[in-house]
Amino acid sequence: MNYENILSESTNGITTITINRPTKLNALNKATIEELHNAFKVANIDATTKVIILTGSGTKAFVAGADISEFADFNVENGGKLAAKGQEILFDFVENLETPVIAAVNGFALGGGLELAMSAHFRVASDNAKMGLPETSLGVIPGYGGTQRLPQLIGKGRAMELVMTAGMLDAPTALDYGLVNHVVTQEELLPLAEKIASKIKRNSSVAIGKAIKAINANYKDGINGFNIEIEEFGACFGTADFKEGTSAFLEKRKADFKGE
Ligand code: COA
């Protein structure tokens, strides 16, 4: 599929989606959000895609935020709709995909950029990355899930301070806070994400999809994550991957998962 604002390419079971508006530091305008929705949807239903890597083009930015020029003249109603639609089609959508999504944060991840990275299942970063939610400096608050996911990842006090100061975390601090799992040089970033993806690919994609659902359940209001775990654990016993995984172990051979 041809996109204007993103690139999507698949090799060896890994689909890499790159936000590609480098002259605007990959800021998320409406069209980019819609294209991302499409690309994630396509990758998620593609049985050959086992892992999705999300990154930004250029060496400066992952995503420098929602495109400020698009919402500067919005009113109360438009503002609410912007957040609701974005959360539905991109941020919640990514978080709830069955296919694992790794954000490779290659520079500034600010506002909607950090919110997007936080919607991914986990993050790796380059040593020049800078992360923050600077919305209060624009007279607004994070609207793509940032007030919820940031405290989940780094704790309430640190999230409060970062949002109130509109500050930026450097990569070592983000690593120390648990916001990203690994920090490497820019050159090493995509190879690292691909190496982790290769390890994930060896395992049952059906089981991984169920694990994502169960882990996410811990963070959803009104849902008992232990019950979801029990349901999903039980459901695994009806899958071909479970039969293959346990048979392979007992036969002392490598499992050949079909993702079924
Ligand atoms: N929305 C729209 N355009 C953006 C943008 C955003 N969030 N972030 C950067 N851009 C654009 C700039 O307007 C500029 O475009 P121009 O060349 O047509 O003027 C271009 O990207 C380069 O950005 P610039 O500000 O010149 O780069 P810099 O190196 O001086 O500063 C940042 C980098 C990230 C510190 C700065 O761009 C910035 O503060 N961006 C906004 C971050 C933000 O508040 N995000 C939250 C939005 S809710």
- In this predicted model, what pLDDT tens digit does every residue of 123-177 receive, in sequence order? 999 999 999 999 999 999 999 999 999 999 999 999 999 999 999 999 999 999 9
Q: How far apart are CA 68 and CA 169, in angstroms?
A: 21
Choose among 27, 128, 21: nearest CA to 72: 27
Asked if 21 contacts 5 with a C-beta cutoff of 8 angstroms, the reply is yes
- Whether 56 is in the pocket of ligand 1, judged by its Cβ within 6 Å, is no
Kindly give the number of the ligand 1 atom that is closest to the alpha carbon of 133.
Answer: 46
Question: Model's pTM, two decimal places?
Answer: 0.97
Whose C-alpha lies nearest to ligand 1, atom 43? 65
6-200: CATH topology: 2-enoyl-CoA Hydratase; Chain A, domain 1 (3.90.226)
Distance of CA 107 from the midpoint of ligand 1 (Å)? 13
DSSP 12-42: TTEEEEEE--GGGTT-B-HHHHHHHHHHHHH
Q: Which helix (H) or strand (E) holds 193?
A: helix 186-201
Q: How far apart are CA 55 and CA 61, in angstroms?
A: 9
Say if residue 1's pLDDT is above 80: no
Q: Is 115 a catalytic residue?
A: yes
Q: How far apart are CA 50 and CA 99, in angstroms?
A: 6
Sorted by where each begins, the domain ranges of the chain are 6-200, 205-250
Say if residue 248's pLDDT is above 80: yes
Cα–Cα separations (whole angstroms), residue 39 to 19, 30, 222, 258: 11, 14, 30, 23
Whose C-alpha lies nearest to ligand 1, atom 14? 24
Q: In sequence order, which residues have a C-beta less than 8 Å from that of residue 76 and are 6 or more positions away?
A: none
> pLDDT exceeding 90 applies to what percent of the chain?
99
Say if residue 2's pLDDT is above 90: no
C-alpha 217: how far from its chain's center? 16
- Whether 146 is in the pocket of ligand 1, judged by its Cβ within 6 Å, is no
Q: Is 135 a catalytic residue?
A: yes
**Average pLDDT over every residue of 48-58:** 98
Which pair of tokens denotes residue 4?
A: 């204007």
Pocket test for ligand 1, best of 25, 130, 131 (most atoms within 8 A of CB): 25
